[in-house]
Amino acid sequence: MRAEYIFGIHAVTTAVQRDAKRIKGMWVQKGRTDTKVQKLLDLAKAENIRIEWTDRKELDAMAEGGVHQGVVVACEPIQAKNDQFLDAMLDKLEEPAFLLILDGVTDPHNLGACLRTADAAGVHAVIAPKDKSAPLNATVSKVACGAAEVVPYVLVTNLARTMKDLQQKGIWITGTAGESEVLVYDADLKGPMALVMGAEGKGMRRLTREHCDHLIKIDMAGEVSSLNVSVATGVCLFEAVRQRKA
């Protein structure tokens, strides 16, 4: 299996702290002796990670032009979870389920941003269909700033069937659609719930929409008709967080 590169101080630190066994080696820019890098080196040494010093050009090549901040690690790719994992996780939950479903989000940058937002909001898992979904890769890891290693990303074979299974477990499913007359701030987002976000432009697929219990929308005051999917996800998730803490 081809290794992938994770780069940037925060993303690499999270990878070392959360899943050091995935890391096959670390490359650090020659001359970097600042506190942040030293702390990272101490963590890596404690986990017996092989460290090599190299020049910036080699790091630039590894990061393919990304901002690596002088550190890159080679990792085994993160593995997405499956339906069985989701069932087992939900059975073990001791609090109301809080899930995010992404229907047709294929851009790794958007997936990474959604994972980061989901982690910040306390979402238990992010669910997506195996087809027409972004894969977990180095770009996702970088954008997610460590959340890709923490928040389970579950790829399911049949999203409509999974949604039906969630409903049978008592989890309410709330979809987002511009034509809905219910604002996100007026909806009841407390209790066991899954929020469904569709792809930018197209939105949710018809079958996905039909399996939602409720539809909500974000009120748009300006000329722009829609938000980036990760921004819209943040608005909706944190409204749910506000309600659940109230």
Instruction: Give the tokens for residue 188.
Output: 């009841």
Instruction: Flag whether 8 is marked binding.
Output: no
Instruction: Flag whether 198 is marked binding.
Output: yes
Tell me which residue of 122, 235, 244, 230 sits closest to 189, measured CA to CA: 244
Instruction: Flag whether 49 is marked binding.
Output: no
List of residues 6+ apart from 63 with CB closer than 8 A:
5, 7, 72
Which contacts (CB < 8 Å, 24+ apart) does range 160-165 have? 160/207, 160/208, 160/210, 160/211, 162/83, 162/86, 162/127, 163/101, 163/194, 163/196, 163/208, 163/211, 163/212, 164/211, 165/87
Annotated binding site for S-adenosyl-L-methionine: 198, 218, 227
Annotated binding site: 198, 218, 227
